[in-house]
Amino acid sequence: MSIKLVLKVYIAGETPVARRTIANLEKICAEVSNAHEYSVDVIDILKHPQLAKDEKILATPTVVKELPEPVRRVIGDLSDREQALIGLDLVAL
């Protein structure tokens, strides 16, 4: 049975930090997913401020792991791979 990994990354515009965060997240997903299916939704809070408000996003970039539960949030560009894996609870996948 494959685990569906569902992530959202909240950014504030097409900045170098936003691009680096997305690239780091894609790299992490490719490494940990193996046979697992995953999806990454990129949400620009400048274009969709209500989504950020609804999710109580206070800083960008913020990555939210929605599935598998529990929900986890990490703020930053995920450049520290080990911290990102621990923070998003992806170590055991």
| pLDDT at 93 (0 to 100) | 54
Q: How far apart are CA 24 and CA 31, in angstroms?
A: 11
Q: Which domains, from first to last, does the chain contain? A: 4-87 (3.40.30.10)
Give pTM, 2 decimals: 0.89
The dihedral over CA atoms of 36, 73, 75, 58, expressed in degrees to the nearest 10, equals 140
| pLDDT reading at 31 higher than 90 | no
| pLDDT reading at 34 higher than 70 | no
